[in-house]
Amino acid sequence: MKVSELKHGGLKKWVEEAIALMTPDSAEVCDGSREEYDAMIGLTIESGLATPLNPDILPGSVLFRSDPSDVARVENRTYIASNNKEDAGPTNNWIDPAELKKIMTELYKGCMKGRTMYVIPFSMGPVGSEIAKIGIEITDSPYVVANMHIMTRVGSKVLDVLGTDGSYVPCFHSVGKPLAPREKDNGVWPCAPLDKKYISHFPETREIWSYGSGYGGNALLGKKCLALRIASVLARDEGWLAEHMLILKITNPKGEVKYITGAFPSACGKTNLAMLIPTLPGWKVETVGDDIAWMKFGKDGRLYAINPEAGFFGVAPGTSLESNPNAMKTISKNTIYTNVALTEDKNVWWEGIGYDAPGKLIDWNGNVWYQDKNNKGQKPAAHPNARFTGPANQCPAIAKEWEDPAGVPISAFLFGGRRPRTIPLVNQAKSWAHGVFMGSIVGSEVTAAALDLKEGTIRRDPFAMLPFCGYHMGDYFQHWINIGKKGDPDKLPKIFFVNWFRKTESGKWLWPGYGENSRVLAWIFDRCSGVGSAVDTPIGYLPTEDAITPPSGVSSEDLKELLSVDIKGWKAEIADVRQNHYPKFGDKLPKELFAELNAIEKRLNS
């Protein structure tokens, strides 16, 4: 479609102004067709940016290698430009919106010379759903168009829903690499230097402006930018929840179904849990979403969730047939790989894939690479944040309800982190406010691999939203408290804390994780049905020792340790929250959370 054919007057004017500012060679509106997707992939192959993979091994799939400066989200170049600095809070980078727009408008001038401007109408969530939102992304990157095809619902059907005067989130994106006459990319990933990269969010005007990066959440603006940073502001203002949460469907042996969401910081097994294959006989787990949940109250008073995405943008290293067979099957065709290694027969490989490198590889930097197990300092063949973009409808475990526009009713929230000590395998909040308290103190223990914090320090990531909340996190906690007050206590989801990562003093894992986590999910399922047995403790309700059948290799002593309350450890935990965590939020911290902090401290001391 031509820009002149756009029927939405405001949208047409906005696009025309962008064309005048960015001066692309041409502009086109994306229709979301398979032909368009194939054309985008064809352009990237022709320009040398993409390598087609072996059609007999990974049909319809390609590999990209990005610039070494453009391999992940750049949090120090990500901004929340609220009108008042206080509204951005202590966990976000803030720049005055007028100042930031002035800087970026200068960068946008002529930024698309030599390139085509693509106008991407996209829906976050099933098209037409009352929970969904529409965005329009302007970009000069065929890579972005192709990824957005997989990750969102793109095209003419979105414009039909938008109509002539519907609301949308306007999203500017440019790789920041204009081309001189007859200049080509020649296989070199286009992006701007790090100090010229900006991923900017304007909460009051609901705008996203991104410049200089072509990668991941910096460029796929439906991802973290709209789905969390802007959506969290919309959710606060409109009375719903936009969360960094998986959604899964659980069916017990009786055929009863419940839906559960879960928020986990990075490296805590979130995608693996979303696609879990239960070891517990008779139980079934299916995937609704692996990363983001939008939830609104239904007419029956329950919270209903949709997965606003249409694909999986997952970390490849560590993904294997052992850790996540459903993910491996999902990405066996029609997948975009970025920064993984290439084998001689045009297959992909990465660290943790489950087998040794098959001879000569081309690493993510484009260099020849041979695995040397004796060289502990050998650089990885795949970048640690190498990614796959795969269609959700290819997942063998995808639930039939995953695109239900009404969403699915949520029975439980899970919060968790990577904690070798103190935090038990599972505990249930005593109340909604206690659950919000639990979510507000989520964290993972820093390992020797982290250079910026002392080993053993807890890196707090409240609700796993620290990099993604579009406003002051103290106000975000208050929004959660308010949702609890707004809802019927009998219909609100129950809240649980889980920890798959307990170790003995000698470093042995106490719990095997992966499919065995279904044993914990079964207890949570039963608690939501009012039948699971539990004991009341200072930190919440814990399973009785006979409520969870231990898997092979987990002794009764191990299980007792996993389900015990470490009084000394919890006292230290509460002291850390009081001294180092909660003070960050100042007078914005809800009084209800101070009350919960005092209450748990009193229970631990009694």
Q: Which of 534, 555, 561, 536 is nearest to 546 (CA)?
A: 534
Catalytic residue among 171, 191, 268, 528: 268
Give the contacts of 489 (CB within 8 A, at least 6 positions apart).
432
Q: Is 399 exposed, middle or buried (0-12, 13-18, 19+ CB in 10 A)?
A: buried
Determine how β-strand 198-202 pairs with β-strand 78-80.
parallel
What angle separates helix 432-440 from helix 473-486, to the nearest 10 degrees?
A: 160
- Chain-centre distance for alpha carbon 587: 29
72 contacts 339 by C-beta, under 8 angstroms: no
Containing H/E element for 225?
A: none
Largest separation between any pair of C-alpha atoms in the chain = 77
Q: Which pair of structure tokens corresponds to residue 505?
A: 């003093």
Q: Quick one: residue 487, left, alpha or beta (phi over 0 = left, psi -120 to 50 = alpha)?
A: beta
Give the contacts of 20 (CB within 8 A, at least 6 positions apart).
none
Give bridge partners of residue 124 from the DSSP assignment: 133
Is 268 a known active-site residue? yes
Give bridge partners of residue 443 from the DSSP assignment: 460
158 contacts 134 by C-beta, under 8 angstroms: yes
341 contacts 68 by C-beta, under 8 angstroms: no
310 contacts 150 by C-beta, under 8 angstroms: yes
Q: Look at the block and give the residue holding tokens 């190498």.
A: 386
Q: Where are the alpha helices (DSSP H) in 211-347?
A: 216-219, 231-238, 270-274, 325-330
E runs forming strands in 392-466:
408-416, 426-428, 443-445, 458-460
263 contacts 442 by C-beta, under 8 angstroms: yes
Give bridge partners of residue 8 from the DSSP assignment: none
From residue 87, alpha-carbon distances to 54, 408, 563 in Å are 50, 32, 40
**Residue 420 to residue 176: CA distance in whole angstroms:** 43
Residues assigned a catalytic role: 268
